[in-house]
Amino acid sequence: MQGFAGFMWLLSVALIFFSGFALIDAAIRREDAYRAADKKTKPFWLIILGIAFVVNLLFPILSFLPIIGLIATIVYMVDVRPAVRSITGGGGRRGSSSDGPYGPYNGGR
């Protein structure tokens, strides 16, 4: 039983870090990028992710509240974050404005 308790503690710590990372990521993104990506507003996501973070801190993993917070965090990380990053240019490599999908476009030279 001690091994299970240790596993649940590690899982709880991982959820705290995951929701904390999502909260910090949402805080550093620009407000207009959320609207441009047609997602909810930045304050909405900060409130949702902040509540998820606090719930993960206060409640044990066996409760249903951390699971709801985990779902909200996953939705942000999988849906909202990539859309906002694509608007702000924070995703992947940074290239020239003449770069195409397969590398630099050199005008047929």
Query: What pLDDT score does 92 carry?
Result: 52
Tens of each residue's pLDDT in the chain, 109 residues:
788 888 888 989 999 999 999 999 999 999 999 999 889 999 999 999 999 999 999 987 778 888 999 999 999 999 999 999 988 876 555 555 556 566 666 665 5
Phi, psi (5° rounding) for residue 104?
-70, 140
pLDDT at 8: 86
CA–CA dist 31, 54 (Å, integer): 23
Return the residue matching tokens 């044990």.
60
Cα separation, 39 vs 73, whole angstroms? 14
Q: What is the pTM for the complete model shown? A: 0.75
**With the C-alpha atoms ordered 85, 89, 92, 97, is the resulting torsion angle positive or negative?**
positive
